[in-house]
Amino acid sequence: MKTNNIDYIELWRQSMVNHYGKVPNRLKDDAAEEAFWSSMVERKKQHKADPYTKQVHQELLPLLNREDHVLEIGPGWGNYTFDIAKEVRKLTCIDSSKSIISFLASQANEKGTENMDLIHDKWESETKRDKYDVVFGFNCYYRMIDIGHTLLKMNESATRLVIVGMTTGPEKPHYMELEKRGYTINLRKRDYIHILNVLYQLGILADCKIVKLKSKKIYSTYEEMIRDNTTKILDEQFSYDEVKTILNKYVVEKEGVFEYEYPFHAALMYWNPKEF
């Protein structure tokens, strides 16, 4: 069904185009995506979940049962993977990156995790129709052009529960202030609300839990902080003095380093699989 004749699935597809009218290379080129994850894993070396995931775990893990066989789509470097594995009978992970699969395998061996299966494939193109008690994916939808197909496949593959997770805004506050001053900012074009709208269009009414989070970025130099916090400014020319003035409202110097702490959120959308 559509609301006011809006096709949210098509809107998702259109939003994959960036501010320059092009689809970013990582979204369309498998080799570019693999190169990205290979470089990330090389720097990671050892599994360590991002700090914000602790609060998400508190909402996610109670949704799982000890006897569940869980499928995790696009686990990345395992923000949720190993904590899920501790809580369920079996965990199967599917990821399009060979580097990610190799990394998770090495970390599972190091941790002594024996209830994990790893599949190197794209969820959206993988043709098996295995059933799982729970199908879960967090922040893994950015390359999935046909979001309707993706979500319906998750629904079809789950027998008990489907869980879709995304981090969401607000954006760093200095960017929001700069936008109000007329700057062109590369703000996110797809968010959890798009997923909810697509689910509604598909006839699925999902519950949604918003988790309040905080991120703290620490920079060893002021110049490093400036570089990292101007990357979303799309204007070819802008006033560094004005940007610095605004950034100084949010950045605190402590013991020779510069800290930028700001709020953001995660959304967990979940539903019992529906038969169509």
Mean pLDDT of 236-254: 93
Three-state DSSP class for 242?
helix
- Side chain identity at residue 23, one-letter code: V
pLDDT value for 105: 95
pLDDT, mean over the chain: 92
Work out the pLDDT band at 47, boundaries 50, 70, 90.
confident
CA distance linking residue 37 with residue 158, whole number of Å: 28
CA proximity to 37, closest of 142, 133, 126, 117? 142
Exposed/middle/buried for residue 176 (C-beta within 10 Å: 0-12, 13-18, 19+): middle
CA distance linking residue 142 with residue 208, whole number of Å: 19
Work out the pLDDT band at 276, boundaries 50, 70, 90.
confident
Whether pLDDT at 3 is above 60: no
pLDDT value for 188: 87
Mean pLDDT of 120-134: 85
27-62: b or e for each residue (b if 16 or more CB lie within 10 Å)?
A: beeeeebbeebeeebeeeeebebeebbeebbebbee
Q: What percent of the chain stands above pLDDT 70?
A: 97
Whether pLDDT at 94 is above 70: yes
